[in-house]
Amino acid sequence: MATEIKVPTLGESVTEATIGELLKSVGDSVAVDEPIVSLETDKVAVEAPSPVAGVIKEFKVAVGDTVEVGAVLAIVEEGAAAAKSSDEPKAEAKAPDAGVEKAAPAQAKEATTAKETATSDSSQTLSPAVRRAVLEHGVDPSTIKGTGRDGRLTKEDVIAAAQSKKDGAKGDTPAPAPASSAPAAAATGERREERVKMTRMRQTIAKRLKGAQDNAALLTTFNDCDMSAVIEAREKYKDLFAKKHDIKLGFMGFFAKAACLALKDVPSVNAYIEGDEIVYHDYVDISVAVSAPNGLVVPVIRDAQDKGFARIEKDIADFGKRAKDGTLTMDDMKGGTFTISNGGVFGSLMSTPIINPPQSAVLGLHRIEDRPVVVDGEIVIRPMMYIALSYDHRLIDGREAVTALKIIKEAIEDPTRMLIDL
């Protein structure tokens, strides 16, 4: 019996998606709940799984197509997978291969190594489809040269590497590779251009950020803060903290808690405009900007005002890992009343971050560097960080923005304030 695989519900207000990648081919076997198509939405990449086990009979879409919720993606023939798998042992029985049996332990070891590499490799970002291909074919992604944009690995790169490895194991002599045209192009001084279609997420990011500039009265106020106290606290308690909570004590936990203090005292910074009304919140849902393969995403730490440092640090670490793996969900991105963006991890000294609509403010963090400052009439060297608060001047006055940023500065320079709510 044939079963239609349809576009699943994508989340609140999301009605369509773009086909990012076909994770299977026609004729491939699929198990129940195994993903067959990767979909790019306005916010995250999601996968469409098969509700039945069988063999893919037909794809109704192609990469790059725009599809709506409920549209048919593919046709799966139920039961064909079982029939196919039952035939395989017979074929093996007719033509046993002692060499294969002998090589099995080595292949198992290679597959285990590939699995560990795919799980722990942080030098490159692997999409879910690529990660799955690495595990299935038992190859080391660090040894494969990516042909995707910015040198990223594609599923085809992994399959080609696996096939090459297989041919080498059989003793086949690989055909000589065609001469590369790149040296010739370089020799003649030829210049090239590449046109790549924007992903749906990148298009949405562009529209939202431009919309923020067009619709909001954006302004940024700056301050700097002495990071000595926070650095000292981290050095003093990092081992105990990690031992008790099984997570590293980072800077974001301090800034998240400092922001909660500021937003409590200056509620307009935690509000937004909706029509001709101002929506205030008695809770703080902090959107944390993290990098994903297709662009910047902002998962949300819910009720940050009620969470301790350990829970906040664990949430942030989980978001970062899932952003790289491409497993963030629509619910992870939903909502948010205030945003923190840390450009310092990339080396930024100072910036004017853009608000994340419909929010009215965003805190920008930057790199820490030793600078000469005057303390009690003397010039001393201190680890300093510039902090920036961009805000919608339609709702937030300059006095309120400066006050909020000053509260954050004072809490960072004297972390005891966070304990006694000052």
- What residue ranges in 227-337 does DSSP mark as E strands? 272-274, 277-279, 286-288, 290-292, 295-297, 300-301
Rounded Cα–Cα distance for residues 199 and 197 (Å): 6
Q: Is 137 a catalytic residue?
A: no
Do 18 and 142 share a domain, yes or no? yes
Do 145 and 277 share a domain, yes or no? no
Q: Would you say residue 184 lies in a domain?
A: no
Average pLDDT over residues 46-50: 80
Do 160 and 204 share a domain, yes or no? no
pLDDT band of residue 349 (cuts 50, 70, 90) is: very high
Do 125 and 273 share a domain, yes or no? no
Rounded Cα–Cα distance for residues 382 and 283 (Å): 34
% of the chain surpassing 90 pLDDT? 37
Q: How confident is the model at residue 169, as a pLDDT?
A: 59
Q: Would you say residue 176 lies in a domain?
A: no
Q: Would you say residue 186 lies in a domain?
A: no
Q: Is 101 helix (H, G, I), strand (E, B) or coil?
A: helix
- Residue 220 phi, psi (nearest 5): -125, 135
Rounded Cα–Cα distance for residues 371 and 214 (Å): 37
Q: What is the residue-averaged pLDDT of the chain?
A: 79
pLDDT band of residue 85 (cuts 50, 70, 90) is: very low
Q: How confident is the model at residue 337, as a pLDDT?
A: 95
pLDDT band of residue 43 (cuts 50, 70, 90) is: low
Asked if residue 86 has pLDDT above 80, the reply is no
Instruction: Give the tens place of pLDDT for each residue, 153-204.
Output: 777 778 888 878 776 655 554 544 444 445 555 556 788 888 887 777 777 7
Do 80 and 41 share a domain, yes or no? yes
Asked if residue 101 has pLDDT above 50, the reply is no
Average pLDDT over residues 254-279: 94
Average pLDDT over residues 336-349: 91
**What number of CA atoms fall less than 13 Å from residue 220's CA on the CB side?**
17
Q: How confident is the model at residue 123, as a pLDDT?
A: 42
% of the chain surpassing 70 pLDDT? 77
Q: How confident is the model at residue 167, as a pLDDT?
A: 67
Q: State which of 152, 170, 188 marks the end of a domain.
A: 170
Residue 12, domain CATH: 2.40.50.100
Do 337 and 414 share a domain, yes or no? yes
Do 139 and 249 share a domain, yes or no? no
Give me 151's structure tokens: 């040198």
Instruction: Give the tens place of pLDDT for each residue, 102-151.
Output: 444 445 445 454 544 444 443 455 665 676 677 777 777 778 877 765 56
Distance of alpha carbon 376 from the chain centroid = 44
pLDDT band of residue 208 (cuts 50, 70, 90) is: confident
Q: Which residue segment(s) compose the domain that 26 sits in?
A: 2-170
Q: Are 221 and 388 in contact (CB under 8 A)?
A: yes
Asked if residue 213 has pLDDT above 50, the reply is yes
Do 246 and 291 share a domain, yes or no? yes
Catalytic one of 226, 397, 414, 421: 397
Q: How confident is the model at residue 72, as a pLDDT?
A: 84
pLDDT band of residue 88 (cuts 50, 70, 90) is: very low
Q: Is 331 a catalytic residue?
A: no
Q: How confident is the model at residue 39, as a pLDDT?
A: 80
Q: How confident is the model at residue 12, as a pLDDT?
A: 60
Catalytic one of 303, 331, 393, 414: 393
Residue 383, domain CATH: 3.30.559.10
Do 307 and 214 share a domain, yes or no? yes
Per-residue CA distances from 377 to 93, 144, 370, 385 (Å) = 88, 58, 18, 21
Instruction: Give the tens place of pLDDT for each residue, 363-381.
Output: 999 999 999 999 999 999 9
